[in-house]
Structure formats: structure tokens, C-alpha cells
Structure 1
Amino acid sequence: MNMEYVLEQLKNLLAIDSPSGYTKEVTDYLLNEFEKLGVPAYRTVKGGVIADLGGEDADNAVFVESHVDTLGAMVSQIKSNGCLEISPVGGIDANSAEGETVRIRTRDGRIYDGTCQLCNASVHVNGKYAETKRTYDVMEIVVDEKTSSKEETEKLGIMTGDFVCFEPRTTITKSGYIKSRFLDDKLSTAMLLGYAKHIKEDEVTPKRRIYLHMTVFEEVGHGGSASIPDGVTEVLSVDMGCVGDGLACKEHQVSICAKDSKGPYNYDVVSNLIEAAKKAGCDFAVDVYPHYGSDADAALTAGYDVRHGLIGAGVYASHGYERSHVDGVKNTLLLLETYLG
């Protein structure tokens, strides 16, 4: 498949702020890209995007999901010093957020820059800087405007409920490493765009009808809990493969998840994914994820009678400054192409 296209789509997606609850801009982008590819797509009432790739067996369809919502934060209070207290959106840890550049997006469309800092952030002033446990109770957003009071910040149009979006800091190294916030899960979304381009331009007719679903509430737990079309018997979540102690997967591989914190994935789906990976010659790993939940889990929790599975390119430092590799992308796409036929 066209890796240049996939990586270009990745960079474009990562450049669009889209914390859970603030995703219209990124879904507008997806709808436009599907239109360019000639793939019918629509926005669900909930806000996600569903694309129909066609296929022969419409009564045994597969629903392939990624998500375009990311971690972020929301203004919970404007402080007396003009800085912002925030409430995290999704599982962004305060230790990871410290020192990051952010964008504050107001309800009337204004955008302000800022930085997420420890309160009293100067080492030369704060004698307890090193020993202070980082939590959002002791963190604040310093707004890059001339303001030193609540009233001055309010005059900028900033208010409680405004979204705070973290800078992704995307880079792709000469050696093929992909580094950025929010590879979870815009990396998979870029791959699914690449897969759709392959299906359309190479005039492939899959054996089963294939729908793509880019969800917008995965990071808060209910992205895949709705909108599954009639005829779907299987939900395959394409998300990040976990990399860390006790797990086999590396960034160069595609991970097949056998079980996560919600429970085991469908036995036949997992077995068929393993068989397809072997057939394709993929570099793959099978793992059990200790702290994880997917859109496929959400579909079953919502009561859908479907089989479910989970795969993804290996990603290190999840929910932080994440890292993957183009080899992991290639192996994931190869597995998708082989498994979906």
C-alpha cells in the first residue's frame, strides 16, 4: 500500500486538535478525504464517521474501527491569578502533561496559546518543586496573554468548559520511527484511510462487506457503543498495540490482543487473525494487555451480538509522547489486507 499517503494522512490528522468532545473539525476532514477517494461516508448522530467499502457478503459484514478522539483537558476554573485550572479529558497523566504547549479553544472560536505548568513552576523560587507530586490540583495552564487576574482572562473570552488541546510534537525520523502524542489512535485511522485507498484504486472486492468506523468518544469509554449497521457480525478494533514490560510486542510489529482488562476477545477471531498473520508473513506478537479497553469492548458492553477482535501497530509510551515505527504500520496493513481478503 502507499506508505507515503498513510504517513501524510497521519501528519494531517495529528495536526487537527480533537480531544473527546471536540471532534467536528477532524471528522469534517475525514469526510472530505473519503469523498476524494470516492468512498461513500457519513457522520453518525453521535459524531463519528462511517465509510462503506462494499464487499460480497453483506450478511456477514465486518465493522473495522479506529478512533480520532484524543486525550486533552477542559477548563474547570479561572483562577484569581489569571491562570486556568483544568480537568483532564481521558487518561492524560499530569506528569506527562507538565511543560507541554497547549491551545485553549473558546466557545466563540478564538484560540489562545498556553503552557501546562506546575503552580509556582520556577525551581529558583519553589523549594518544594522536586518533591511535589504532580496532580491536576497543583497544575495550571499559564495563558500566553497579558493577564494576571480572573477578570482579565475572562475578558479574553475564556470560560469554564473551554477545551485545552495539547501540542502533539509530531516527527518521523530517518530510521522510520514515528514519534508524537496521539498516535493512539490517529496512526490506525491513517492506516484505514490507506486501506480504503487501496480497496478503491485497486478495484478490490472484499469477500465480506466492510465498513470503517472512526469513533469520537473512545478515550472516555463509549466510542464504539453505537451505530453498528445491520448485517455486521464482527467488530475489529484497530488501535495501538501495547509495548512494555511483560509484553512481547515491539514497535516494529503488529500486535494481536488475546485479552485486555475487559476480558478475552472472541476465540475464533483471535485464532483467525493469528492464522492470517502467519500466512502473510507478518512480524507479529500475541499479547494480553493489563490496562486496556477498546471500541470493540464497548460494542459488546452496549449489547451488540457480534464477535470482536483487536489489533494494532506497536506503540511505546502510551498516553504520553508515543513512539511507533513504519515497520509496525506495514505489518498492520499486511495483516488487515490478508485477514479481510
Structure 2
Amino acid sequence: MEKITLDMEYLKKILLQLLEIPSPTGYTDRIVHFCGEELERLGIPFELTRRGAIRADIKGRTSSPDRALVTHLDTIGAMVRELKPNGRLGIASIGTWSSRFAEGARVTIFTDTESLRGTILPLKASGHVYGDEIDTQPVNWDNIEVRIDEPSLSIDDLLELGIHVGDWVAVDPLCEIRPSGYINSRHLDNKAGVAILFTAAKAILESSIKPPLDCHLLFTIAEEVGTGASVTLHGDVAEMVSIDTAPLHGGHNLCERGVSVAMMDSSGPFDYHLTHRLLELCRRHDILHRRDVFRYYRSDSASAVEAGNDLRTALVCFGVDGTHGYERTHFESLRATTELIAAYMLSEPVVWRDRFNLGPLKGFPVQPE
């Protein structure tokens, strides 16, 4: 199989553009428009669901079975749950993340008519006022609040500003790229995954190599709340690979500069044959990789299966330290993951028999004894 050329400057450019677009779950319209415009620029046809999930199509030599590659546009964030008498905002998390990582974050509050700026602070934010109590207050969402950068000392002031319960709060990414190749930013989960999928698709199109199978590029909008790839699939999709973060931790099989192929997450094992095809591609193309198991993790693959889709699923990940906080990855990990996705798009189907929803025993694969 010919090795295609990846445009890593394109990946960097589009990643920075994606990070500048706030997209907490439920407030994703702007990033949907951005991705749609980029797909149009690349000449990739696509359709949207009612709420904005995207399914784009790269035609292959064969239409069935076909495969899907999925990543998510939504990020963690917060929502206003209380207008407080002191003129500040109580907030609830969107997605699962610790209030410890929210403290000190600069944010945008989206009201019905405009956006306002502010900072998330602990209730006891100043040692000059509270002394050692700043170090003993509990870490939870009831012990933080948003200070708004407008004159606001009461609930009436907040109402005058147009703020209501249910307004979305987006956290600034604060992206920094170092000469060493490290990228520090919030929301690499999963803006980096989106950039990987765009870069792999661009490389396939520019190579003029036609994939063996139709490939569907799926961009979901509610992965952080558990319903990601429950839509946008259709019956001919036999294989689906999710692109997401590999949380780096001493208890995990670390791969900060390569790609992690997940064998299992909290929803259960991934498909044996599809996962081993990905491992084979890594070996064949000399892609630095590790196998991994994630105990407290789920991805778009889980929501696709739970929605009743009968398909093989797998998960490939770029390494991220401090997931759902101030995250860090490395360009070499993004490159390795992109190489694997591109190689997979150009590979033969894992099981040709999968073009049938129901079929005979003949052609069904066998795991080693």
C-alpha cells in the first residue's frame, strides 16, 4: 500500500481555528458551520441531521460494506444554574469534569442577545480576605461562581445584563504551541480529533488513490453527554472507528508520541477483528503505537452500539495528559494517529461478509484458539 503525504501545517492551522470556536455541548452551531464550509472547500459532499451532526462521504471502489470514521465537535463547558444575590453566577457542568479545573478559567457567557466575559472563581478566592480558608474549602461545583466583567452586584443587575438561568458558558482554550512539539490547550478533546480527520481526508483526496470502500466522515455534537454517534449512521456501515483522546496516566500504557489503540473502555471490549486490523496497519506502516484499556471512559462507539447499530467498532487515540482540564498533546501523536486513520481508509474491509446484515456461517471470521 502506498504511503500518502500528510499536511501537518494544515492540521496545525485547522486545529487553531477549531480551538477558537466555542462549542460546549448544545451550543455547537458555529462549529458545525465552520466544518461544513471546510468540507465544501475540500470538495467532500455532506449532509446534516436536524440538530447539526454531519455525515460526509468519500466514495470508494465498493459501496458495501462501508465504513465510518467518527469524531466529536462538542466540548465540555457549563451552564448558568443560578443568579446569585451578590451579582455572580452559579454554574453546572456540561459533560464530566472537575470544578478544580474550572477555577481561574476565563469564560464567555452566551445570553439570548449577546456574549459577556467573566472568570470562574472559588467562593473564597482571596487569601488576603479568607486566609488559610482558601485551601480548605471543598472542591465542587457549589463552591465556584462566575464573576462577570460588567457592573453587577445584585440579581437585578444580572437581569439588566440579559443573563438568565440556562445560558451557556464556554471556557477559553488558552492554546500554546511549543517548539518542542507540545500543544497545551483546553478542548484538545476533541478539536484535535476533528483536525486529524480533516487532515487524513485531505491526504486521501490529494493522493488520487480511491479507497476500497465508501468512507463516511461523521462529526457528532453530543459525545460529552453520551449520545454522540447514536445518529448519522445507516445500515450499510459495517465498521466504525472513533477518534478521541488517550488519557495518559501511570496506570495506563503510555503513548505520548504515538497512537493508542484501545482494546476496551467502560462500555466493554472493542471488536476483535477491527482492532487487530488497526494494530496490523500500525506494524505494516511503522507507526509508533500502544494497546490500551480505559476503565473510566466511553466514546462515540458506545453510543452507536447502544442505539442498536450492528457494526464493528474500534477506538484510536492521540495521547493527552490532563484530559478535561488544561490538556497537553504532542504533534508526533497527532501525526501517528492521522497516519493510522489514512492507512485504515485505504485498507480492505476487515470481513467481506459484513456487507450482509444477516447471512450464512460461511465467511464469518474465527478468533485464534
Q: Counterpart of 2:360? A: none
Alignment of 1:285-296 (within 5 A): 285-296=290-301
Distance 1:322 1:250 in 2: 15
Distance 1:6 1:203 in 2: 20
Q: Counterpart of 2:242? A: 237
Please tell me whether residue 248 in structure 1 is matched to residue 253 in structure 2: yes
- Of 222-231 and 277-286, more deviation after overlay is shown by 222-231
Q: Counterpart of 1:212? A: 217
Which of 270, 273, 289 is 1:268 aligned to? 273
Distance 1:282 1:242 in 2: 19
Q: Counterpart of 2:363? A: none
Amino acid in the other structure paired with 1:47:
G
- Please tell me whether the aligned partners of residues 20 and 219 of structure 1 are also in contact (alpha carbons under 8 angstroms): yes
Q: Counterpart of 2:30? A: 25
The 3-state SS of whatever aligns with 1:125 is helix
- By how many angstroms is 1:57 displaced? 2.1
Q: Counterpart of 1:319? A: 324
Which of 186, 189, 200 is 1:184 aligned to? 189
- Please tell me whether the aligned partners of residues 242 and 255 of structure 1 are also in contact (alpha carbons under 8 angstroms): no
Distance 2:41 2:64 in 1: 28
- By how many angstroms is 1:202 displaced? 2.2
- Please tell me whether the aligned partners of residues 124 and 137 of structure 2 are also in contact (alpha carbons under 8 angstroms): no
- By how many angstroms is 1:333 displaced? 1.3
Amino acid in the other structure paired with 2:235:
D
Q: Aligned pair count?
A: 340
Please tell me whether residue 57 in structure 1 is matched to residue 50 in structure 2: no
Which of 51, 71, 76 is 2:76 aligned to? 71
Distance 1:141 1:67 in 2: 27
Please tell me whether residue 5 in structure 1 is matched to residue 19 in structure 2: no
Distance 2:179 2:277 in 1: 35
- By how many angstroms is 1:26 displaced? 0.2
Extract unaligned runs of 5+ from structure 1: none
- Please tell me whether the aligned partners of residues 18 and 68 of structure 1 are also in contact (alpha carbons under 8 angstroms): yes
Q: Give the TM-score, by structure 1 length.
A: 0.98
- By how many angstroms is 1:216 displaced? 0.5
- By how many angstroms is 1:280 displaced? 0.7
Extract unaligned runs of 5+ from structure 2: 1-5, 347-369
Q: Give the TM-score, by structure 2 length.
A: 0.91
Which of 111, 130, 134 is 1:129 aligned to? 134
Q: Counterpart of 1:118? A: 122
The 3-state SS of whatever aligns with 1:129 is helix
Which of 83, 87, 96 is 1:91 aligned to? 96
- By how many angstroms is 1:136 displaced? 1.0
1:277-307 per-position Cα deviation (integer Å, ceiling 9, x unaligned): 1001010000101110010111001110000
- Please tell me whether the aligned partners of residues 245 and 318 of structure 2 are also in contact (alpha carbons under 8 angstroms): yes
1:72-92 per-position Cα deviation (integer Å, ceiling 9, x unaligned): 000011101110000100012
- Larger Rg, first or second structure (1 or 2): 2
- By how many angstroms is 1:199 displaced? 2.0
Q: Counterpart of 2:282? A: 277
- By how many angstroms is 1:56 displaced? 1.8
